[in-house]
A and B are shown apart, each in its own frame.
Chain A
Amino acid sequence: MNDERPGCMSALAATFAEKVIAEHAGRQRVEPGEIVGARVDLVVCDELSFPDVITEFEQLGAERVFDGGRVLVVADHETPAPSIEAANRMAETRRFCASQAITNLLDAGTAGIMHVVIPERGLAAPGELICGYDSHMLTAGGLGALGVGVGATDTAVALAFGEIWLRVPESVQVRLRGVPSRWAAPKDVALWVCSTLGQDACLYRSLEWTGPYVERLELEGRFTLANMSIEVGAKTAAVEPDRAVEAYARARARRNFEPLWSDEGAEFAHVHELDVEGLGPLVALPHSPERSVPVAEAAGARLDQVFIGTCTNGRLGDLRAAAEVLHGRQVHPATRLLVFPGSPDVYRAALAEGLIETLAEAGALVGPAGCGPCAGIHLGLLADGEVGLATSSRNFPGRMGGGLSELYLSGPAVAAASAVAGCIASPDDVVVGSSVGVA
């Protein structure tokens, strides 16, 4: 099922990552292993981390950001402010953005998860290179943009120079064919790939998602696959934009752009050929996405809390999948269901479709657009000893609360079904009305 073979080589052919980096380094061509300075089209940071970036920026001796129009600061990690310290951080962020003419400061009300709002607002486009202080920056690969996650100091340097240093990565392809079962969404496919390849399989590499399964995916599913690529260690990830994706980007982009993709004959370190035919929904057991198993193997595990949202699964299609399962049903009395839409656009569209009503009537707590409790900061952390399930990308020990809490991962349909059952359950069990559940 998993044939690994080196791709064929051609002297002139280049991969997606090589092309985007060459373009941004002002070079004809770059080679894997080479270190280059690359111009960035956008520098991104959240409001919790931005004060650290400001400190580094000032320590560097920098005075002005390279281009206020190419900086995005999003209040997604701790908004509305859970503490006076957080409020003070946001106040500092607002002052800095005003003084530096940073026009893209998304504050409470306009903010959503950075990886959801970047494409919605046309802040990244196919063929562009963006960086930011967040490990899920590679989500932009769903759009055919090259996103790289960096730390505070890198972000400060990028603000000052409009440039970052990059080692040109080797590339790998994951080629997916086949049609999964009814309830298996791109998240389930991604979890299965994590368990098949392992947590460090693509360390330092550019991961290209290809093949008939991927080509058929709409934009949201592409974002989910690109997003989950960090959980196999990838430096960046991408899906080749099709006509629909390009049209989406053209309708929103603030700059001219040119989609780029790997040439025929480009060199890949590995090509993983995988067949998702008939794949059923999965859950990742605590404490790693690579511990993903079919739902049946974990069915019945009691859950204190279920959380639907995040940069992995906080988009409209995800809320539709959850609402489909929750429609006319109730969240189990022993379980809490939290839903955080990925962005204000997602929230408004979900309202217009009646999804928020469905979720609220089922007993879900619907929170503000943003990251919710995903990173263990606020808005619904788990107590020590509690067990949660989330549609987020990672479940390392203590990720979403106490060091002795446990977290499972799944897609939105399994999450919704599990909230109804009060324990891990397949959507089929709940929708068809089988006996699975906590009595």
Chain B
Amino acid sequence: MNLAGTAWVLGDNVSTDEIVPGRYLGVDDPAELARQAFEGAAPGLVDRIAQGDILVGGANFGTGSSREQAPRAIRAAGFGAIVAASFARIFFRNCVNVGLPVFWSPEAAADVAEGDRVEINPEAGQIVNVTQGAVHRAAPLPPFVREIVASGGLSAYASQRLGGSLVPAGEVPSGEGGRAS
């Protein structure tokens, strides 16, 4: 399944405080969370995007608080994926766990400009900047993390393993070289 949409570009070190400020942490409704998303970092952003658009960040995207509301709000706002030069660890892990596709690519993050048309082939780890005619690679995810993504998130993955081990010994190959939390 390919992901495709218009790119919306943010800078380095975008914190989860800016994605979902603390005063909204008690909000349960994803649509309501989405309305407040990026209130500080990019006011009005969520009103302008179309379903499936691609969020592009710089270095250390999602730094700070562990709030899982951050990736949930980004997804509920309509973004189909995030591409960043690098991700803060807990945010990256939360994205994987809630089933929001994330791609670690310094080259793509540097190249993509706001408004560019971007297509992503997750299986191939390929990020295509259609507007500028450039193709970038995303760092491959470790096999175990790919399994979580393929299941649709950690909850779906783990529900199949209740009563057993979360990570069965010997079944999971090393994630060497990949990006994970």
User: Do residues B23 and A377 form an inter-chain contact, with CB atoms below 8 A?
Assistant: yes
User: Do residues B174 and A199 form an inter-chain contact, with CB atoms below 8 A?
Assistant: no
Residue in contact with B15 in the complex, picked from A33, A149, A163, A396, CB distance below 8 Å = A396
A85 close to B (CB within 8 Å): yes
CA distance A153 to B15 in the complex (A): 20
- Counting contact residues on chain B (CB < 8 A from A), the size range is 35 or more
User: Do residues B26 and A48 form an inter-chain contact, with CB atoms below 8 A?
Assistant: yes
Q: What are 20 pairs between A and B in contact, CB < 8 Å?
A: A34-B175, A35-B144, A35-B172, A48-B25, A56-B155, A135-B66, A150-B90, A151-B98, A161-B158, A165-B167, A199-B13, A203-B88, A233-B60, A376-B17, A394-B64, A396-B17, A396-B18, A398-B17, A398-B21, A398-B40
- Report A36 CB to chain B, min CB distance, Å: 6
List the B side residues contacting A356 at CB < 8 Å: none
A156 close to B (CB within 8 Å): yes
Residue in contact with A35 in the complex, picked from B17, B65, B142, B158, CB distance below 8 Å = B142
A269 close to B (CB within 8 Å): no
Closest to B92 in A: A204
B153 close to A (CB within 8 Å): yes
CA distance A60 to B21 in the complex (A): 27
A299 close to B (CB within 8 Å): no
- Known interface pairs A33-B174, A153-B154, A161-B158. Does A135 touch B64 (Cβ–Cβ under 8 Å)? yes
List the A side residues contacting B145 at CB < 8 Å: 35
User: Do residues A152 and B60 form an inter-chain contact, with CB atoms below 8 A?
Assistant: no
* A-facing residues in B12-30 (Cβ within 8 Å): 13, 15, 17-18, 21-23, 25-26
User: Do residues A394 and B39 form an inter-chain contact, with CB atoms below 8 A?
Assistant: no
User: Do residues B63 and A200 form an inter-chain contact, with CB atoms below 8 A?
Assistant: yes
List the B side residues contacting A116 at CB < 8 Å: none
Residues of A within 8 A of B (CB): 26, 31, 33-37, 48-49, 52, 56, 59-62, 78, 83, 85-86, 89, 133-135, 149-154, 156-157, 160-161, 163-167, 199-200, 203-204, 233, 235, 288, 375-377, 381, 394, 396-400, 403
Residues of B within 8 A of A (CB): 13, 15, 17-18, 21-23, 25-26, 39-41, 43, 59-60, 63-68, 86, 88-90, 93-94, 97-98, 142, 144-145, 153-155, 158-159, 161-162, 165-169, 172, 174-178, 180-181
Residue in contact with B158 in the complex, picked from A83, A150, A157, A167, CB distance below 8 Å = A157
Q: A135-B65, A154-B154 are in contact. List 5 more A-B contacts (CB 8 A).
A: A26-B169, A35-B145, A48-B25, A151-B68, A397-B15
List the A side residues contacting B98 at CB < 8 Å: 151, 153
List the B side residues contacting A86 at CB < 8 Å: 26
User: Do residues A397 and B13 form an inter-chain contact, with CB atoms below 8 A?
Assistant: no
CA distance A78 to B24 in the complex (A): 12
- Known interface pairs A37-B167, A167-B142. Does A375 touch B65 (Cβ–Cβ under 8 Å)? yes
- Report A247 CB to chain B, min CB distance, Å: 32
Closest to A85 in B: B26
Closest to B172 in A: A35
- Report B61 CB to chain A, min CB distance, Å: 10
Residue in contact with B181 in the complex, picked from A37, A167, A377, A398, CB distance below 8 Å = A167
User: Do residues B94 and A61 form an inter-chain contact, with CB atoms below 8 A?
Assistant: no
User: Do residues B23 and A149 form an inter-chain contact, with CB atoms below 8 A?
Assistant: no
Residue in contact with B89 in the complex, picked from A26, A85, A235, CB distance below 8 Å = A235
User: Do residues A376 and B21 form an inter-chain contact, with CB atoms below 8 A?
Assistant: yes
Q: Which residue, A61, A85, A135, has most C-beta atoms of chain B within 10 A?
A: A135
Residue in contact with A33 in the complex, picked from B17, B155, B176, CB distance below 8 Å = B176
User: Do residues B90 and A135 form an inter-chain contact, with CB atoms below 8 A?
Assistant: yes
- Report B84 CB to chain A, min CB distance, Å: 11
Residue in contact with B60 in the complex, picked from A61, A199, A403, CB distance below 8 Å = A199
User: Do residues A199 and B155 form an inter-chain contact, with CB atoms below 8 A?
Assistant: no
List the A side residues contacting B166 at CB < 8 Å: 37, 157, 161, 163-165
- Report B74 CB to chain A, min CB distance, Å: 13
List the B side residues contacting A156 at CB < 8 Å: 155
User: Do residues A376 and B22 form an inter-chain contact, with CB atoms below 8 A?
Assistant: yes
Ranked 10 nearest A-B pairs via Cβ = A37-B167, A376-B22, A396-B15, A403-B40, A151-B68, A33-B176, A200-B60, A151-B94, A398-B40, A153-B97
User: Do residues A150 and B66 form an inter-chain contact, with CB atoms below 8 A?
Assistant: yes
User: Do residues B97 and A60 form an inter-chain contact, with CB atoms below 8 A?
Assistant: no
CA distance A399 to B41 in the complex (A): 12
User: Do residues B175 and A157 form an inter-chain contact, with CB atoms below 8 A?
Assistant: no
Q: Which residue, B18, B39, B66, B142, has most C-beta atoms of chain A within 10 A?
A: B66
- Known interface pairs A151-B68, A397-B40. Does A35 touch B63 (Cβ–Cβ under 8 Å)? no
